[in-house]
Amino acid sequence: MSRARLERVGLTLPLLPTSTVGSFPKLDYVLEARAKFARKEMTRKELDALERQATEFWIEQQEEIGLDVLVDGEQYRGDMVAYFADIMDGFEMGGLVRSYGNRYYHKPIIVGKVKRPGPITVTWWKFAQGLTSKPVKGMLTGPYTIMDWSFNDYYPDRKAACFALATEIRKEVESLVEAGAKIVQIDEPALSVRPEELHFALEAMHIVTDGIPAYFIMHICYGAFEFIYPKMLDLPVDNFDLEMSNSGLDLISLFEKDPFTKDLSFGVLDVHSHVIETPTIVRERIEKALQVIQPEALWVDPDCGLKTRAVEEAQGKLRSMVAAVRELRETGISR
Amino acid sequence: MELCLANHSSYPRVGASREQQRLRRAYAQRERGEISPEAFNQVQDSLVAEVIEEQAHAGCELVTDGQIRWYDSISHVAGKLAHVEINGLLRYFDTNFYFRQPVITANVEWREPLVVEEFRYAKRTSVRSVKPVLTGPYTLAIASIRQTPVYGDFSTLVMDLSAVLAREVNALATAGAEVIQVEEPAILQHPQDLPLLQQALTALSEARGSARLALYTYFGDAAPVYEALQELPVQILGFDFTYAPKLPDKIATVGSQKSLGLGLIDGRNTRMETAKDVFPLLEKVLPHVPGEIVYLNPSCGLEYLPRDKAVAKLRLMKELKEAFLQERKG
């Protein structure tokens, strides 16, 4: 199913395509520039130039490491929800809310009808794709997660807010595909948190993806999958990108009970650990995945975005991942 | 019947102004070793006093210390027990807040006061009555990793935690607490364990002296287990109505043998409730609650809101109460 879908959108990828989840560590000069911009000591144009320079760096890195499907590295994004809320109409930035310990974030508030004022990520996608002949994924936060991680002063309930956001996110998907994106990833880390709402999250995803000629990946992480599996397989996407390594690969037992019927991007790198996995460890993890997933349906990537790691750690982890996949491709992949 | 305006439990510890962010800076200074433990405690003390005053000023008749000193509602309590280590982060129910998970390595034992010293300070500081809050034995046990054969049986851990918490309940009652809130949100996800919770709360009930025990659940629908909750050995039951659309009807049908804490004001969302949202629910529920006091409180701790919205919700509760009483009189 999936390979045919990839071919229909004009992509031929090797077995076990390698990719990443979206974000890479921000380079020091980008961090410094973003702080200066926040203090109004730098113009938007100056910041943009540095973020573009950092994007070029990460595209080069991904090519050099040998990944098959690339990302722009999100050097220009802060929080994955606030980035979209900042740009879309209908939001205002709320005060600080604690996420844990001494960490706080500004939580957006929906105060009016949400509306995409125009393409949000397309310029960055075009820029990144212009730097490489390999496919670059379009990267969006999903409507359920934007809704769940925002306050809602405007819509009558969570479902209504989610559907309104889905309509706007669909427009962004259409813009990305029109610009040439063949693979679009929708990040929905909040999806597994309220299993009783999966039914409308599913409807929302139909709004986002139905009838659009692209290969869709949905990234979900750090949730209680046992409560939404196998129902989540009904979500209208081609590939689920799941965090596996941080949770000791325990999802595999779920797949043994109820077969996984979509493509799977299998997280083989723990992004919360400083330890750089060896190619042998990565290979063992992939071999475990192959016990429950057909090789044609398996992609290989980290558990989540690598933005919390140091640059060298991210590079080291990805090199191990690519080395393990190459070894498997050379020695033959068997179940 | 008196409608008493109460805070729930936690309160935002930072706000928009530099002054309101002093605890955040103090934490960072502590991490860098730039502040003495005494100076850090002084910052905490001053913020506790500030949020107590803010609650009272907004109209709260029963305040809390805002759990300003708590890292989170699990590790702050469990971390003070013997043979408990504190591990990595885990999502707190369906929120976007993360707590540190306790790891139990041997028999849990009382080692030091859990919250009674915090309560004593808050009580000294406050002009209003202060409600101490404890996370309950069942929720603490569910949130913990058991790394010892001693607790091969889950219920043994719940009962040991119950014994430790009973000692704290007694200390709080002796220190002058009139209402002691025990939070058990986890029981709504595991209703089959209600008999175990009943057993676990017995020790707390026996230790309460003249204080009244309030069992609060939230982040779930209490309606399906309402009758069983009424059987628990507590004097007050607190509910999160934002998850429980059928709960008002349930209360109207079944009645209540206990005083209730009505969590009708959403502590998780910034939208301000109106009389139209709240009055019909009060009218439905109040005739069925016995006793002299019913508590009107947010649905959960207010720390999920920014500080300006949290105080606005407390002010709103006062406005709604006054308008409701006026309407009844009229």
For residue B301, the chain A residues in CB contact (below 8 A) are none
- State whether A102 and B270 contact (CB < 8 Å): no
Q: Strands A103-115 and A89-100, how do they pair?
A: antiparallel
Task: Say whether residue B274 is in contact with chain A using an 8 A CB cutoff.
Answer: no
For residue A97, the chain B residues in CB contact (below 8 A) are 12, 303-306
For residue B303, the chain A residues in CB contact (below 8 A) are 97-98
Q: How near does any CA of chain A get to the CA of B257, in Å? A: 31
Smallest Cβ–Cβ distance between A149 and the set B13, B72, B96 belongs to: B96
* Residue A226: band (very low, low, confident or very high) from pLDDT cuts 50, 70, 90: confident
Q: What is the pLDDT of residue A221?
A: 80
Q: How many C-beta atoms lie closer than 10 Å to residue A104's C-beta?
A: 18
Task: Say whether residue B307 is in contact with chain A using an 8 A CB cutoff.
Answer: yes
Q: What is the pLDDT of residue B197?
A: 98
- State whether A98 and B97 contact (CB < 8 Å): yes
Q: What is the pLDDT of residue B330?
A: 76
- State whether B304 and A97 contact (CB < 8 Å): yes
| Fold type of domain A2-79+121-331 | TIM Barrel (3.20.20)
For residue B269, the chain A residues in CB contact (below 8 A) are 151-153
pTM: 0.93
- Residues sharing a CB contact under 8 Å with residue A130, sequence separation 6 or more, in sequence order: none
Q: What is the pLDDT of residue A335?
A: 57
- Of A7-16, A115-124, A220-229, A253-262, the range with the highest mean pLDDT is A115-124
Q: Is B59 helix (H, G, I), strand (E, B) or coil?
A: coil
Q: What is the pLDDT of residue A247?
A: 65
Q: Is the ipTM of this complex over 0.85?
A: yes
Q: What is the pLDDT of residue B129?
A: 98
A81, A92, A97: best mutation site toward chain B, by most B Cβ within 10 Å? A97
A81, A93, A151: best mutation site toward chain B, by most B Cβ within 10 Å? A151
Task: Say whether residue B221 is in contact with chain A using an 8 A CB cutoff.
Answer: no
Beta bridge partners of B180: B213
Task: Say whether residue A109 is in contact with chain B using an 8 A CB cutoff.
Answer: yes
- State whether A222 and B13 contact (CB < 8 Å): no
For residue B99, the chain A residues in CB contact (below 8 A) are 100
Q: What is the pLDDT of residue A272?
A: 82
For chain A, the average pLDDT equals: 94
pLDDT digits (tens, 9 = 90+) for A71-102: 999 999 998 999 999 999 999 999 999 999 99
Q: What is the pLDDT of residue A252?
A: 84
Span A28-49, average pLDDT = 96
Task: Say whether residue B71 is in contact with chain A using an 8 A CB cutoff.
Answer: yes
**Contact indicator for B72, B92 with CB cutoff of 8 Å:** yes
Q: How near does any CA of chain B get to the CA of A61, in Å? A: 31
Is pLDDT of A19 > 80? yes
Question: What is chain B's alpha carbon radius of gyration, rounded to the nearest angstrom?
Answer: 19
Sequence ranges of the domains in chain A? 2-79+121-331
Distance, CA of A75 to CA of A307 (rounded, Å) = 9
Task: Say whether residue A148 is in contact with chain B using an 8 A CB cutoff.
Answer: yes
Beta bridge partners of B10: B66
H helix runs in chain B, sequence order = 22-31, 37-58, 75-78, 116-125, 137-142, 154-174, 194-206, 226-230, 247-254, 275-285, 307-329
Rounded (5°) CA angle B286-B271-B17? 115
Task: Say whether residue A95 is in contact with chain B using an 8 A CB cutoff.
Answer: yes
Q: How near does any CA of chain B get to the CA of A26, in Å? A: 22
pLDDT digits (tens, 9 = 90+) for B310-326: 999 999 999 999 999 99
DSSP string, B69-128: T-S-TTHHHHTTSEEEEEEEEEE-TTSS-EEEEEEEEEEEE--S-SSHHHHHHHHHH-SS
Smallest Cβ–Cβ distance between B270 and the set A101, A151, A190 belongs to: A151
For residue A98, the chain B residues in CB contact (below 8 A) are 12-14, 97, 303
Distance, CA of B38 to CA of B30 (rounded, Å) = 11
**Among all residues of chain B, which has the CA nearest to that of A103?**
B24
Is pLDDT of A192 > 90? no
Number of Cβ pairs < 8 A linking chain A and chain B: 65
Q: Is B256 helix (H, G, I), strand (E, B) or coil?
A: coil
In this prediction, what percent of chain A has a pLDDT beyond 70? Answer: 97
Beta bridge partners of B91: B98
Q: Is B286 helix (H, G, I), strand (E, B) or coil?
A: helix
DSSP string, A276-322: PPPHHHHHHHHHHHHTTS-GGGEEEEESS-STTS-HHHHHHHHHHHH
Is pLDDT of A290 > 70? yes
A79, A96, A227, A273: best mutation site toward chain B, by most B Cβ within 10 Å? A96
Q: How many C-beta atoms lie closer than 10 Å to residue A60's C-beta?
A: 12
The answer to which of A239-253, A278-292, B49-63 has the lowest mean pLDDT is A239-253
pLDDT digits (tens, 9 = 90+) for A316-326: 999 999 999 99
**Among all residues of chain A, which has the CA nearest to that of B242?**
A157
Smallest Cβ–Cβ distance between B94 and the set A96, A97, A193 belongs to: A193
Q: What is the mean pLDDT of each run of 10 residues along chain B (330 residues)?
A: 95 96 96 96 98 98 98 97 92 92 96 97 98 98 96 98 98 98 97 98 98 98 98 98 97 96 98 97 94 94 98 98 92
Distance, CA of B240 to CA of A221 (rounded, Å) = 28
Q: What structural domains and CATH numbers belong to chain B? A: 2-329 (3.20.20.210)
Task: Say whether residue B14 is in contact with chain A using an 8 A CB cutoff.
Answer: yes
Residue with tokens 């659940």: B217
pLDDT digits (tens, 9 = 90+) for A152-166: 999 999 999 999 999
The answer to which of A245-249, A306-310, A317-321, B156-160 has the lowest mean pLDDT is A245-249
- A147 phi and psi angles, rounded to 5 deg: -65, -50
- Tell me the two tokens of residue A250: 């325990």
- State whether B14 and A193 contact (CB < 8 Å): no
Distance, CA of B250 to CA of B289 (rounded, Å) = 12
For A:214-273, CB contacts with B below 8 A are 222-223
